[in-house]
């Protein structure tokens, strides 16, 4: 039977994250209508343990060195469902998550996405990462047509994905969604399609990952820039930390949620946005430099 929903997961963070992710998917009432595809680049026992505990998962191994966009692209191409959803290996779906995707089967929308809530709530450092990275995706969010949805909680009609165009395998999901909009594919934000982001960070790890992602993102943007444009964006990166900090604070305050957590997390948030700015500067100035393959 052809599944109605395929879920693609890039396995990069190890068993401490992905086991709970798969347990939540296994418990969904719609699991019989779904296929789960795990693209694993780990070199430890992650794949073996997944195969033993979740034999119903489609598991692709031997992908060491692949970037997260490449892993997702491999999974998308292998997917058979009408809808192809993408989540991270440390995201936990809620009980109505799949049904909130499938109810759009007869809608005019080609992409559906939902909010991201914090699942690591004990440590201030984890709050700093969440509020800085996912503040705009944090509930409450308005329902309706939009320009973009969170890349770690998005479902695409398989027929709208440019799966025969390999260039998209090396780009983050924001570039893909922008291209789909250019092709007049409509995107819908569904505030009841919720996932929890559950991952804890050490300070050095958090700053390194933000730097790597920002560098890879800026390098992608710079591919079509002239030398003068790259220089302009490199210079503008000096202003980025201040702008980002203002946006983060404004976003959290506007939602009237987690204000206490933001207050205590501000020093770490400041370090986060500084790493963000330096990463983008490096990407515009010197290219990706292998950063994409190291993002987790």
Q: Give the C-alpha separation, 160 to 194, whole Å.
A: 23
DSSP secondary structure string, 228-273? HHHHHHHHHGGGHHHHHHHHHHHHHHHHT-SHHHHHHHHHHHHHHH
Domain ranges of the chain: 5-197, 203-294
| Locus of tokens 């692949």 | 66
The DSSP bridge pattern shows strands 83-88 and 5-11 to be parallel
Residue 4: pLDDT over 90: yes
The closest alpha carbon to 17, from 92, 128, 77, belongs to 92
Cα–Cα separations (whole angstroms), residue 217 to 21, 114, 251: 26, 22, 22
CA atoms 171, 87, 99, 84: torsion sign:
positive
Please give the radius of gyration of the chain, using alpha carbons only, rounded to the nearest integer. Answer: 19
Topology given in CATH for the domain delimited by 5-197: Spore Coat Polysaccharide Biosynthesis Protein SpsA; Chain A (3.90.550)
Tell me the three state secondary structure of residue 109: coil
46 CB-near residues (< 8 Å, 6+ apart): 11, 14, 15, 18, 40
For 260-294, how does the pLDDT look when each residue is reduced to its tens digit (9 = 90+)? Answer: 999 999 999 999 999 999 999 999 999 999 999 99
The DSSP bridge pattern shows strands 153-157 and 111-113 to be antiparallel
Confidence of residue 5 (pLDDT cuts 50, 70, 90): very high
Mean pLDDT of 93-100: 99
Note if the pTM is more than 0.85. Answer: yes
Residue 238 contacts residue 277 (beta carbons within 8 Å)? yes
What integer pLDDT is reported at residue 29 of this predicted model? Answer: 97
Mean pLDDT of 211-235: 97
What integer pLDDT is reported at residue 83 of this predicted model? Answer: 99
For 124-164, how does the pLDDT look when each residue is reduced to its tens digit (9 = 90+)? Answer: 999 999 999 999 999 999 999 999 999 999 999 999 999 99
Confidence of residue 1 (pLDDT cuts 50, 70, 90): confident
For 23-54, how does the pLDDT look when each residue is reduced to its tens digit (9 = 90+)? Answer: 999 999 999 999 999 999 999 999 999 999 99
Q: Give the C-alpha separation, 75 to 182, whole Å.
A: 24
Q: Give the C-alpha separation, 248 to 285, whole Å.
A: 26
């Amino acid at each position: 039977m052809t599944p109605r929903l395929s879920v693609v997961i890039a396995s990069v963070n190890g068993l401490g994250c992905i086991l709970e992710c798969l347990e939540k998917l296994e418990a969904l009432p719609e699991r019989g209508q779904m296929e789960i595809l795990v693209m694993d680049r780990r070199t430890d026992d992650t794949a073996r343990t997944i195969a033993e505990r979740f034999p119903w998962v489609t598991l692709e191994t031997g992908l060491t060195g692949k970037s997260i966009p490449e892993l997702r692209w491999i999974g998308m191409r292998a997917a058979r469902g009408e809808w192809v959803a993408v989540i991270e290996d440390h995201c936990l779906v809620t009980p109505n998550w799949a049904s909130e995707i499938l109810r759009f089967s007869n809608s005019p929308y080609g992409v559906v996405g939902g909010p991201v809530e914090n699942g690591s709530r004990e440590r201030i450092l984890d709050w700093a990462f969440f509020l800085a990275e996912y503040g705009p995706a944090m509930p409450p969010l308005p329902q309706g047509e939009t320009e973009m949805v969170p890349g770690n909680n998005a479902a695409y009609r398989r027929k709208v994905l440019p799966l025969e165009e390999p260039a998209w395998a090396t780009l983050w999901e924001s570039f893909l969604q922008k291209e789909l909009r250019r092709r007049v594919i409509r995107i819908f934000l569904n505030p009841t399609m919720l996932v929890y982001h559950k991952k804890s960070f050490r300070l050095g790890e958090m700053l390194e990952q933000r730097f790597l992602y920002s560098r890879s993102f800026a390098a992608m943007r710079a591919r079509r820039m002239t030398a003068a444009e790259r220089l302009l964006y490199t210079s503008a990166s000096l202003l980025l930390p201040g702008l980002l900090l203002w946006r983060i604070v404004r976003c959290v305050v506007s939602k009237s949620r987690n204000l206490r957590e933001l207050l205590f997390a501000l020093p770490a948030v400041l370090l986060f946005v500084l790493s963000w700015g330096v990463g983008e500067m490096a990407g515009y100035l010197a290219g990706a430099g292998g950063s994409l393959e190291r993002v987790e």
